[in-house]
Structure 1
């Protein structure tokens, strides 16, 4: 049935095999016994085949396996025991009771380990009873010739061994197939998990992503010392007015991908892009003592990389870069399209450094200047009126100091 589990399909396949063997193979054994003059064993085997045929037809019509399973397990247990008693015991029948071992084995497959135990106990009991019966009632010579006895032994051992081997081989093969399918599904699941992980890490820093997966609470942290960078493409509005949307997005993607590579190179945390603006930060989510130097290096490399990009591309692009150092609050808010974002006056001031900066230059606050002046060169600007901040002293980062 379509709703059957793989295990149920396996059980039904075994049932059909047993039924087909009983219907097609057992009558041949009955005919063989009949030819030897063993009428009662032959009748029992013909009856076994008839009952199995009825149970098989019932199963094929109803697709319900419970009755068929019980019939086959009972017949496999009792029929060999009865035939051995009528055919001269262990020696005369060639130990035909060995067929009864199939009963507890089938019970093990159909009913599981716990409920197969009574069937195995019944098998052991019948073997014991057969032995006692042989000692008490069966003559030493037995009713059969030595040739017939040997043939019975060989036939029973060969056929039962083949059935056991083929059955176990079938189950092992199916288990291997199921394991291979499970391994493939597990591999696909891991690949999808890796894709999801990469996507999440493209949105959030790894420490934040790990915390978000581990806890549902709002993530918010305070950092006393970080340095923030804003970069903006100069005259982007004018550029967009005479550039197709496709080419404009392609251009932005190339420039910002170049900045992403620099952020990864310097260990800077990219925060987000807003239109044509690029925001990054050093010193979080893992605090870093040299956060100002890290951002300064990235800012200088951004200007250099854009110059090289312009030489290869043709049209000249320029950026304004602003930097500021200080405390911020960082975290993840909301439940949809969330990002790792920063808040605080330090962020606003860094943004003002960019918007009040000069094309192609890197403007920094006095706070960032104090952290960088020993290792970098600057040009001091005239006092600058900054929206929302009043008059500020700012500096233009020009390069690295050359060691004397």
Structure 2
């Protein structure tokens, strides 16, 4: 949403704790009038939806006539630290995103941190809302990996507390008068590589893929209609009475930002969105953690026919770091040499450290692998295959 410009330099900012995440802030003034591209933006003024209002049709959706769905808002420094989150909750708002960062600090660039982020992020949570953070991308300034690091290091991380939504990459129209076009001067292939680098680093740091906030027209133009990001939740921006077509690669949107915040709406607070799903789906988006296997082995190898063969390994979950996942069912599958079919062989539960071990009778040459089907708070995963020679 609309915001106040406050560049933040690493080493000069005061540290503020946000639910276990350290972010940086700097001295700031009172909220300024809503910035607009025509007025000329200062670094940090951009917000989710800044490119939408100018193209919104007359008679489009408004906050007073919200579409069906679980309602949410997004905010930035313009809304200040004293949002009445309790009132928003009473009036049906159940999730909120706060702008955390923009760009990144490098040797040639000063990154931006929202000075009100901690108050907004924690305020939404204290009002019992799902909460998340977003990063306004400046892909011409620094690499996607660098900006993902800046975002995670300044409040945009994720933790499996049941209330924190994955961080958002806001990639949309270039709002700045910087001599570059709406695609920031990048060719489609360069833009796709930048987005992928951001996503991969965010995934590496948090175990989650970021939500992608964008609009269909920008995506088609600036990525060439790339269709390889469909595994990311989509937050679609379109100020209209319907969400319209989604970008290539997605079958539907996860969230739809349908109207801007303005004094004419019930609250001059942020843009308005709806979640495309039920309460259980929103809970799952917040709570589901990445999982993976480590040390999966079938052996001994080779083994005599009729002797014992053991499949063992460890199931991990990512929540700020990889830790063993206890008490979960792991399924074991076998594929005989020359066959294309995996056959269920048995199941075993992980111990308190996430370890598992299952014995079988060696019958044929072939490969073994294990799967975790997933759980309410965890994604499923499948291990690699381990071949065993039976003699």
What TM-score do the two structures reach when normalised by structure 2? 0.21
Q: Radius of gyration: which is bigger?
A: 1
- Which structure exhibits the higher relative contact order, with contacts defined as CA atoms closer than 8 Å and separated by 6 or more residues? 2
More strand by share: 2
More helix by share: 1
What TM-score do the two structures reach when normalised by structure 1? 0.21
